[in-house]
Amino acid sequence: MITTFKAKLGLSSLLILISLAAFSETEKLQEEKELEIVNFKSIKKVLQDDGLSEEAQQKEKQIVVLKKEQVKVDNSRYQYPSENELWGFVSEYWLVKNAQLLGWDFVKPDYGIEVAFRTTLEKLGFYQKRFKILLLNTPSMVRASLPGSDGEMILLLSVPFIRSLDLSKLEISLLLLEDYFRMEGGYFKKGAVTDKLTKLSGTNFHETKVDMSMVEELIKNYDQQINVKGYTFQQQFEVTKKMDAFLKGTPDLWNSYFKLLGKIDRFVKTNVQYKDYVKLYPSPEMQVKWLSPDEKVY
């Protein structure tokens, strides 16, 4: 019995060994076959004759070009926006950061300001001009004009100020036109610009740390320019003279503007809530004088 078992065990071991040997032999043969097939040396001449090696070289070149393009695309992800784009972005960021303070997120009726202002601009020959108006529900900030992207401008105006003065649509349009000229004059950008903005805008920060202090500094300058610095007498004089020049052709508009300045002058002198207005926009009284035909102020 034991002898038979030993014989069977021996036979099965032998069979296993034979099958393993056969399997490894088969694998080897396959590899050899593959090697024979992919033996480029043996078919090099055939490949050259078919122009396939040239194609392979071209593909290699294409890969190099594609890799370069990929690097370019990757680098472009680390780009600062252009100066123009940054002005528009920061203006909106400033509005978002001051949303509660400015109170622009409130329900209001359609005052028809867009049509009135657009008509005034067109009447004076300003074509293809894009603007955004944002009405504020606060008396603490009366008006401002901020730079937008692509030559657009953002005009801010306080609804409590409009109501207190009982301004008509035409008068509102004239106020907006003044702010439009201020922005065109570049006074705001001149007052708020930082060295970092000029230096970094449009550049790449790949392999360096992104410098967000550029945005923070600009936001601070916005605060200063809008709430503290305002505009100089010289800038106000230039704006008033520009208004004078453009409105002279349409006497009804000129008269409305002249009356409006007088109205604002009287209002800010008597209303404590708006006492800072004269500091930021000096001064309606002087503007009236600059416009008055009888007096010459140097």
Q: Which residues bind another protein (CB under 8 A)?
A: 77-81, 85, 89, 92-93, 95-97, 99, 104-105, 107, 113-115, 117-118, 121-122, 126-135, 154, 205, 210, 212, 215
> Cβ neighbours of residue 119 under 8 Å, at least 6 residues apart?
173
Tokens of 86: 């940054």
Q: What is the enclosing helix (H) or strand (E) of 127?
A: none
Q: How far apart are CA 87 and CA 167, in angstroms?
A: 31
Torsion 13-19-20-22 (CA) sign: positive
Q: How far is the CB of 162 from another protein (least distance, A)?
A: 13
To another protein, the closest distance from the beta carbon of 214 in angstroms equals: 10
Q: Which is nearer to another protein, 133 or 286 (CB)?
A: 133
Provide the minimum distance between the beta carbon of 103 and another protein in the complex, in angstroms, as a whole number: 11
Q: Kindly tell me which of 126 and 267 has the beta carbon lying closer to another protein.
A: 126
N- to C-terminal Cα distance for the chain? Answer: 134
Of 229 and 242, CB closest to another protein:
242
Taking the complex as a whole, how short is the minimal distance between the CB of residue 250 and another protein, in angstroms?
16
Distance CA 41, CA 39 (A): 5
Of residues 97 and 189, the one with the C-beta less far from another protein: 97
Of 81 and 191, which CB lies nearer to another protein in the complex structure?
81
Q: Which amino acid belongs to residue 84?
A: N
Spatial CA neighbour of 113 closest among 143, 91, 149:
143
Minimum distance of another protein from residue 118's CB (angstroms): 5
Q: Which two tokens stand for residue 244?
A: 């004078």
- Apex 93 CA angle, 138 and 165, nearest 5: 20
d(CA 138, CA 142): 8
CB of 84 to another protein, least distance (A): 12
CB nearer to another protein: pick between 104 and 257: 104
